Amino acid sequence: MDYHYNQMGGYRVTDAPNFLKNCEDFSKLHAKEVLKIAITSEKMQRRISRGFRVQFGQLFGVISTGAIFATSAHRGLKRPMLVNGNNEAHLDKFALILNPKHDARFGGSIEKGEVERISAPSGRVFAIYLSPNKMEGEFPEVDMWIEHWTWIAASPDDPEMPLDYMERYDTPCVWTKNQ
């Protein structure tokens, strides 16, 4: 991940495969090979202040090193969301799925800590939930914002896909690594 603290609020960014090439409403991003996904410094600081050592470790030890190796992407969460007056915000969310061989947590003190690799939970895939960048004027390098991430159950039929992915998302699969 790269640091970009010179812009208001600052953020961290990493690469992900361009899973939007088949989405007509993202045609301006079709030519890109990779997307820049990012999280604001404010969101990182909030997680640190709340003691979310595992999430902080996952940001650096799973997302920053593994997002580019995603296995699939899905669009639209099947749960209503209201964000900034948009009562269909769930349709704008994407789930980027990874199948990392390890998990991570942040160990030690905040000043002298480090990312520790730990075993990945079996029968799970790692989901990064993303939203399109609607602040392009302030953050022109960012394509998608990282909203949340977590381990979710994997499909027993395809261990690189989420359990019930056909029912879980409005568009069950907009991209797979084999496309």
Given a contact cutoff of 8 angstroms between Cβ atoms, the answer to whether 16 and 35 are in contact is: yes
Query: Parallel, antiparallel, or unpaired for β 34-40 and 144-153?
Result: parallel
Q: Residue 10 pLDDT > 90, yes or no?
A: no
Query: pLDDT tens for residues 108-154?
Result: 876 788 899 999 999 999 999 999 998 889 889 999 999 999 999 99
Q: What is the pTM of this model?
A: 0.90
Q: To 5 degrees, how large is the angle CA 23–CA 27–CA 28?
A: 140
Helix (H) or strand (E) holding 176: strand 169-176
> What is the 3-state secondary structure of 24-72?
HHHHHHCCCCEEEEEEEHHHHHHHHHCCCHHHHHHHHHHHHHHHHHCCE
Place of tokens 């039929």: 157
Segments making up each domain of the chain, as ranges? 2-176
Q: Determine the 3-state secondary structure of 164 from DSSP.
A: coil
pLDDT of residue 125: 98
pLDDT of residue 6: 41
What is the band of 3 on the pLDDT scale with cuts at 50, 70, 90?
very low
Query: pLDDT tens for residues 45-88?
Result: 787 777 778 888 899 899 999 999 999 999 999 888 777 788 88
